[in-house]
Structure 1
Amino acid sequence: MKKLFLIALTLTLGALSLQAQTIPSQRWQMRLRGVAVMPTESATINTIGGNININSKFIPELDFTYFFTKNIAAELILGTTKHKVHTRGSDLTAIGGSSSSNVDLGSVWLLPPTLTAQYHFFPDGPIKPYVGAGINYTIFYNVDAGSTVKNVQYDNAFGFATQLGVDFKLSDKYFLNLDAKYILLQTDVNVDASNLAPNLSIPAKVDINPFLLGFGIGMRF
């Protein structure tokens, strides 16, 4: 019985020691990045046809990461961006325009909080690559329809996010970060153009699908 007790105690202490090795002493990370947001847009536009153009932007971004173990973490990404929007090659002959017109749709702000689950390779090394995947929920706000149409409405939407990045250790507390994300994001858009023709409504399905490339500095705590 005494021998069994000693074996059980040894196994328990060994398991606790192994667990302690996998739990980081600094569970939180915070990063401040500069991020290039580059939509890879396309659209199906009813009534007038054509395609969509959404401009690229460069924005600041803040994110927080929590480590469950040295390898497994979850990251919440926060940032907001304003984009200008217009159609390309739309047919406006029904209202006296050309058969290949660009229609100004003003601008819209996007707030896309994104949560990813990550796996970090070589957590104790000076160079720490990681991969991640998760969900995004994009909120469209402060819509400015511009000077052509009466109003533009965007539906908030969920998207799927993938992530690839690497941290470069500067000290036990600070590090540099390079990060790339691709978000599959589609929204339903309705353009109220009743100022151009009675009861003219233009629905569209728009794929925004932004590619985000960021570089910044982080801190562990």
Structure 2
Amino acid sequence: MKLQSLVLAAATALTMTTAFAVPAGTWTVAAGAHYVDPKSDNGTLNNGLSVDVDGDVRPTISGEYFIANNVGVELLAAIPFHHDFTLNDATGKEILTGKTQHLPPTLSLQYHFDDYNLPMNVKPFIGVGVNYTTFFKEKLNQPGADLKLDDNVGIAGHIGLDIPFAPTEAFRIDARYMDIKTDATLNGTDIGEIDISPWVYGVAFVKQF
């Protein structure tokens, strides 16, 4: 429902008209950091063990090109996120631990609200797009265990605020929802799906060109 709300809001925003302030052909670059906060209850594997995935924070960078007035296409990139996870039995007792890394590049179509005379001249934006997550360096703390997590493609939603402090510079606060689910295999055998589907919270410095 959270993702559906974001998609609906993005679709509504893209149909609105306003006084344009970010002209087509503009570029912005945002450098900052994001915290990946996986959903609670990350699934139950075929062997009955439940999965809990920890969060992580890493530096990120994004570039956005405005294909029309106030409408941009943004690509988010980051250095690899690291996640520890635990496998628990039905009573919640920790049975196994592991770790993985992933890269979640995300491409979004975004609408920036401008010229609305909001407090502090803040500029909200909203977007919807697609996320591709690739997993690597999977490790389960069990001798001889070969754990693999499949790559994932899912929908992503994006909302945020730009707070200008100079004509071409701003401070950004944003949040993304990413639909990330991965099929897990252990020693070549399918053991079920892990549902990470995190909210991703970030701050960044934004420069317009």
TM-score (norm 2): 0.80
Match in the other structure for 1:76: 75
Match in the other structure for 1:205: 193
Match in the other structure for 1:141: 136
**CA separation of 1:148 and 1:122: change in aligned 2, threshold 3 A:** same
Q: Is the 8 A contact 1:26 1:220 kept in 2?
A: no
| Higher mean C-alpha deviation, range 26-35 or range 210-219 | 26-35
| One-letter amino acid of the counterpart of residue 106, structure 2 | T
Question: Is 1:35 matched up with 2:34?
Answer: yes
Using the TM superposition, give the Cα deviation of residue 24 of structure 1 relative to its aligned residue in structure 2, in angstroms: 1.9
> For each residue in 1:20-40, what CA deviation from the matched residue of structure 2 results, as whole angstroms up to 9, or x when unmatched?
x77727611011122111000
**CA separation of 1:123 and 1:138: change in aligned 2, threshold 3 A:** farther
Secondary structure of residue in 2 paired with 1:106: strand
1:105 and 1:22 map into 2 onto residues whose CA distance is 50
Measured on the aligned residues, the alpha-carbon RMSD in Å equals 2.3
Using the TM superposition, give the Cα deviation of residue 100 of structure 1 relative to its aligned residue in structure 2, in angstroms: 5.7
Match in the other structure for 1:217: 205
| One-letter amino acid of the counterpart of residue 52, structure 1 | V
Question: Is 1:86 matched up with 2:86?
Answer: yes
Match in the other structure for 2:163: 168
> For each residue in 1:133-159, what CA deviation from the matched residue of structure 2 results, as whole angstroms up to 9, or x when unmatched?
000010001222224561111011101
TM-score (norm 1): 0.76
2:143 and 2:199 map into 1 onto residues whose CA distance is 29
Q: Is the 8 A contact 1:181 1:213 kept in 2?
A: yes
1:182 and 1:62 map into 2 onto residues whose CA distance is 17
* Rg comparison, structure with higher value: 1
Q: Is the 8 A contact 2:25 2:68 kept in 1?
A: no
Q: Is the 8 A contact 1:39 1:56 kept in 2?
A: yes
- After TM superposition, the structure 1 = structure 2 runs for residues 160-199 of structure 1, keeping only pairs within 5 Å, are 160-192=155-187
| One-letter amino acid of the counterpart of residue 82, structure 1 | H
> For each residue in 1:17-70, what CA deviation from the matched residue of structure 2 results, as whole angstroms up to 9, or x when unmatched?
xxxx77727611011122111000421311x20311111111111111111123
1:70 and 1:100 map into 2 onto residues whose CA distance is 52
1:212 and 1:23 map into 2 onto residues whose CA distance is 25
Segments of structure 2 that go 5 or more residues without pairing to the other structure are 1-19
Identical pairs, percent: 25
Using the TM superposition, give the Cα deviation of residue 87 of structure 1 relative to its aligned residue in structure 2, in angstroms: 1.0
Secondary structure of residue in 1 paired with 2:68: coil
2:21 and 2:92 map into 1 onto residues whose CA distance is 60
**CA separation of 1:149 and 1:45: change in aligned 2, threshold 3 A:** farther
> For each residue in 1:146-195, what CA deviation from the matched residue of structure 2 results, as whole angstroms up to 9, or x when unmatched?
24561111011101100100101111221100010011111100123xxx
